[in-house]
Amino acid sequence: MIMDVARLVETTVTGLGYELVDFELSGRGLMRVLLDQVMGITVKDCELVSHQLTRLLAVEGVSYGRLEVSSPGLDRPIKKEADFIRFRGQKAQLKLRIPLAGRKNFIGILGSLENGVLQLDVDDKQVLIELSNLDKAHLVPTF
C-alpha cells in the first residue's frame, strides 16, 4: 500500500515538472512530500502540488490525516545516486548503518561515485563509503 502511494505521488510530482526528493507516510496519518527543481521551490509550487495531490488521493481513495508539501531546505536529504553526483563538491553529513573505522557519522566533501562506492573527503583524507551501508545523508549548508 505505502509503495503504491509513493509511486502515485512520484508519478504526479514528476508529471508536474518537479523532482520528488522524499516521501514519508507516518503512522499518525501525516503524508510528507519534499520536492525540488533546478530553479528552487516557491510557496506557489507547494500549493500547486498540494492541490493536485489532494484531488488525486481523494479519487484514488487514499486515506491520510494531513498532507505536507515543502521544499527540502538547505540541508536537503541526499537519497539517490544521482543526488550524490549532482551535489559533488558540496559538504554533506552521512550516517552509516555499520561503523567504518569505528565511526558511523562523517562530515565531508562529496567526491566521485563509482560502482556504488562514494568517495568522501574528510579532513584532507579520502574515505570510501558503500552506498549500501548508508543510513542517512544530507547536505550541510555553508554560509
Residues 6+ apart with CB under 8 A from 129: 94, 96, 100, 106, 117, 118, 120
**Residue pair 36/83 in contact by the 8 Å Cβ criterion:** no
pLDDT in tens, 123-140: 989 999 999 999 999 999
pLDDT at 54: 96
Query: Which residue type sits at 67?
Result: L
Q: Is the Cα torsion angle 55, 71, 118, 103 positive or negative in sign?
A: negative
User: pLDDT tier at 14 (50, 70, 90 boundaries)?
Assistant: very high
pLDDT in tens, 17-55: 999 999 998 878 899 999 999 889 999 999 999 999 999
Write down the residue that cell numbers 558511523 correspond to. 104
pLDDT in tens, 57-86: 999 998 899 999 999 999 999 999 999 999
pLDDT at 126: 95
Domains and CATH numbers, the chain: 2-70 (3.30.300.70), 81-139 (2.30.30.100)
Please check the confidence at residue 2 and state whether its pLDDT lies above 70.
no
User: pLDDT tier at 143 (50, 70, 90 boundaries)?
Assistant: confident
Cell of 126: 579520502
Cell of 64: 491520510
Please check the confidence at residue 104 and state whether its pLDDT lies above 90.
yes
pLDDT at 1: 52
pLDDT at 85: 94
